[in-house]
Structure 1
């Protein structure tokens, strides 16, 4: 049924919100992002098409035990309002359960966005 296909497709786009930790970058969903996984951290790198003056990492607790790490420029608007609405064109990734999103760092070096999310085993932030 054609109507059911659209419903399933929409549900799949919302899937990242079901995981405990999610990273959302200020990039289109089809942007090439290189993910480096090591024992101490996850590192995400992507080329930036536009220059930004300042960029920040924001952690938003959606529910107890469910955190969304959102990367935005300093003029990214009301983050809490944006959390309620899903922007389907954003690049998202499920983070490992051992990720510590509250300790994430973000920087831009030579027009490249670099997000580092530390890993931990004790579950503390």
Structure 2
């Protein structure tokens, strides 16, 4: 039986054991994303005009007052989430909270760079949730 001596340093150990594979592809991170509290397969109507985007989805749940919140996840990366604004007490309502973690089965839409997520609005009327994300004016 032949025994190979162990390498003295880490660099030569990596050469003997094989090189580590580099990450082939990074996950896509978009700078602006809209996330709705529906499953990824939900039927959401998306309309675009010169003023902005309009997202409408029918829902069986009763939503009182709803609000769209723009959350800066990382510098330059913003996510718009819709929360139930009718929650009692402090803390700013129920619906989606930052401590809930990542839910991979949410309906998401990549917003183009011309949108202004900080000015997004949400409303619930007649069994339909409507979210409007305005665009920047051309002269800005």
Greater fraction helix: 1
Which of 1 and 2 has higher RCO (CA within 8 Å, sep 6+)? 1
Same fold by TM (over 0.5)?
yes
Paired residues, what number? 108
Match of 1:76 among 80, 83, 95: 95
Which runs of 5 or more structure 1 residues have no equivalent in the other structure? 1-10
Greater fraction strand: 1
Distance 1:115 1:42 in 2: 8
Which runs of 5 or more structure 2 residues have no equivalent in the other structure? 1-24, 86-93
Runs of 4+ deviating beyond 6 Å: none
Could you say which structure has the larger radius of gyration?
2
1:119 counterpart = 2:135: yes
Please list the CA deviations of residues 20-42 of structure 1 after superposition, one character each: whole Å capped at 9, or x if unmatched. 00000011110000100111110
Match of 1:56 among 53, 58, 67: 67
Question: 1:25, 1:72 within 8 Å by CA — same for their partners in 2?
Answer: no
Question: 1:47, 1:113 within 8 Å by CA — same for their partners in 2?
Answer: yes
